């Protein structure tokens, strides 16, 4: 497959040329991304050859593909987080490179060299590359389904409508990114906030201007053609139109608020009424692609696929991200709270209690959209939870210099996606599988627990942890209970009576 060959080429080029010419974060992570793209598919090919099915190497089974993707992702995370796995990986790399060294020495007339471990520098931020395994899963799944899926019909799904929805969703994420950068400026460059006309605000308002044009473009075109502009609003985008108008009005109110009461500082910027209004209206704008996808009939009932599902999931990231940003003082993913000494607080109970609340808040923010997406599309594409968790939480780590934790929500999302794949093929009753209308209690309880197990694992690799095993274990269990409660509350009345 060209994706596999391209990933191998990128890996070789990056390791042999780019890292030496431009050492840095980008080239450091690029090899990880490339390796995670092709490694699962290579594992599938090797496994099926060893299992005696050489004629099926280009059509892997769904289960084999899931196992290969899971093994690659979990193995990569283990190497970055667990010292014993890191040592084993260094030895394995040395063994892989030994044949080339041996051939070179033999040709030069030297004796065979010993196998030398390759020194690898552990970096928990490398976990940010983990979503690349879902590229491999998408490529492999396309081959699994090649005989029974109308590939041409799916390709045709990337129409002008798809690009339109992608533009609106992408600009919604850009508005969220601008707000996050502005939040960073509040804590890192307060002198730049003496006026509302800052580069950070420019990101938000430039993105708003572009998305406003996109939202109104169909109506403007209809007006020029003599048609009804209201009837030209795309299905699902009515509230986006309302959001654009409301955002503009709230923006003017925000300017008046600053004139009357001055500029906000610290938490005031999160709780300012006009800022909250801007957040709500930006979420309305971004909701259009999600509403459109929700109303459209599926090619296969309950199934969503990449890349057609990209606009709605980006819309969800933009919406959930607004809540996550507004409530980030109560979010463990923002910083390594379990490492803070109790002496920072007035009482020893204060820090842990706020920290526990910081686990419950992001659990609610992430689980509500995930459960609703699973209810609408039981066969969500693999990688949805990774994109939701990473896209919503990873950027917040920069607000207070906690970016060493950037891989925690990404790893947690990968674990949730793997759990969803495992539950789909499990022997559990149909009513207990992801997407079942009678409730999704297994994944609802598993997902938050996995998210925060990943968080605590990453935190433990960044320094000493002051929280006890009781607090850590109890927090994980409490988030699982929270997820389960959300699933039970969200049960449809008919399904509840049937159950």
> CA angle 263-268-273, nearest 5°?
85
> If pLDDT is split at 50, 70 and 90, which confidence band does 20 have?
confident
| pLDDT(490) > 60 | yes
How many angstroms separate the CA atoms of 178 and 165, rounded? 20
Q: How far apart are CA 452 and CA 358, in angstroms?
A: 11
Nearest to 365 by CA among 399, 398, 325: 325
Per-residue pLDDT of 211-228, as tens digits, reads 999 999 988 888 888 888
What pTM was estimated for this model as a whole?
0.84
Instruction: Give the best-scoring range by mean pLDDT among 107-116, 227-236, 361-370, 456-465.
Output: 361-370
- pLDDT, position 435: 63
Selection from 185-199, 367-381, 423-437 with the highest mean pLDDT: 367-381
Note the pLDDT of residue 147. Answer: 47
Three-state secondary-structure class, residue 383? coil
- pLDDT confidence of residue 176: 93
Task: Report the distance separating Cα 279 and Cα 247, nearest Å.
Answer: 9
Per-residue pLDDT, 497: 46
**Structure confidence at residue 457 (pLDDT):** 93
Q: Band of the pLDDT at 402, cuts 50, 70, 90?
A: confident
Task: Return mean pLDDT, the chain.
Answer: 82
Confidence check: pLDDT of 245 > 90: yes
25-68, pLDDT tens digit by residue?
788 888 889 999 989 988 887 777 666 544 444 455 788 888 89
CA–CA distance from 158 to each of 165, 310, 451 (Å)? 10, 11, 32
% of residues, the chain, pLDDT over 90: 36
Q: Is the pLDDT confidence value at 12 over 90? A: no
CA dihedral in degrees (424, 76, 141, 49; nearest 10)? -110
Q: What pLDDT is attached to residue 199? A: 74
The average pLDDT across 108-135 equals 80
Statement: residue 414 has pLDDT above 60:
yes
Residue range 353-370: average pLDDT? 91
Please, which pLDDT band fits residue 196 given cuts at 50, 70 and 90? low
pLDDT tens sequence across 322-337: 999 999 988 999 888 7
pLDDT, residue 247, reads: 94
DSSP one-letter string for 66-122? HHHHHHHHHHHHHHHH-HHHHHHHHHHHHHHHHHHHHHHHHHTTPPPPPP-PPP---
Is residue 70 over pLDDT 80?
yes
Tell me if residue 379 falls in helix, strand or coil.
Answer: strand
Instruction: Report yes or no: 425 and 63 within 8 Å, Cβ to Cβ.
Output: yes
């Amino acid at each position: 497959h060209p994706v596999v060959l391209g990933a191998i080429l990128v890996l070789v080029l990056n390791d042999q040329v780019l890292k030496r010419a431009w050492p840095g974060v980008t080239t450091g992570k690029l090899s990880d991304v490339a390796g995670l793209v092709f490694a699962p598919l290579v594992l599938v090919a090797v496994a099926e050859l060893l299992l005696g099915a050489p004629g099926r190497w280009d059509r892997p089974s769904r289960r084999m593909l899931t196992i290969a993707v899971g093994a690659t992702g979990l193995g990569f995370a283990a190497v970055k987080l667990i010292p014993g796995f890191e040592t084993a990986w260094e030895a394995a790399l040395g063994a892989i490179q030994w044949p080339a060294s041996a051939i070179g020495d033999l040709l030069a007339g030297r004796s065979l060299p010993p196998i030398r471990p390759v020194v690898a520098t552990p970096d928990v931020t490398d976990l940010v590359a983990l979503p690349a395994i879902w590229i491999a899963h998408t490529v492999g799944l396309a081959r699994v389904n090649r005989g029974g899926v109308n590939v041409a019909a799916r390709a045709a799904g990337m129409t002008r409508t798809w690009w339109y929805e992608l533009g609106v969703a992408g600009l919604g994420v850009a508005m969220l990114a601008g707000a996050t950068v502005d939040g960073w400026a509040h804590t890192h460059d307060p002198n730049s906030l003496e006026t509302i006309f800052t580069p950070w605000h420019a990101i938000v308002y430039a993105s708003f201007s572009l998305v406003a044009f996109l939202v109104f473009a169909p109506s403007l075109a209809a007006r020029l053609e003599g048609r009804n502009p209201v009837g030209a609003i795309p299905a699902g985008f009515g509230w986006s139109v309302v959001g654009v108008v409301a955002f503009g009005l709230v923006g003017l109110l925000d300017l008046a608020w600053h004139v009357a009461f001055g500029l906000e500082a610290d938490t005031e910027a999160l709780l300012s009424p006009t800022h909250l209004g801007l957040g709500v209206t930006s979420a309305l704008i971004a909701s259009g692609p999600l509403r459109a996808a929700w109303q459209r009939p599926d090619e296969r009932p309950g199934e969503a696929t990449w890349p057609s599902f990209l606009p709605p999931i980006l819309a969800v990231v933009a919406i959930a991200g607004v809540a996550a940003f507004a409530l980030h003082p109560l979010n463990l993913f923002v910083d390594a709270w379990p490492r803070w000494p109790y002496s920072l607080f007035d009482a020893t109970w204060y820090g842990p209690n706020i920290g526990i609340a910081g686990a419950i808040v992001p659990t609610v923010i992430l689980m509500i959209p995930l459960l609703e997406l699973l209810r609408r599309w039981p066969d969500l594409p693999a990688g949805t939870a990774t994109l939701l968790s990473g896209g919503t939480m990873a950027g917040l780590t920069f607000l207070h210099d906690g970016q060493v934790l950037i891989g925690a929500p990404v790893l947690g999302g990968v674990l949730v996606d793997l759990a969803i794949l495992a539950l789909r093929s499990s022997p559990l009753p149909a009513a207990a599988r992801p997407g079942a209308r009678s409730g999704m209690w297994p994944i609802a309880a598993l997902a938050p627990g996995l998210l925060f197990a990943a968080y605590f694992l990453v935190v433990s690799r960044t320094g000493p942890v002051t929280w006890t095993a009781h607090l850590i274990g109890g927090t994980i269990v409490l988030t699982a209970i929270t997820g389960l409660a959300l699933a039970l509350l969200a049960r449809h009345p008919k399904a509840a009576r049937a159950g």
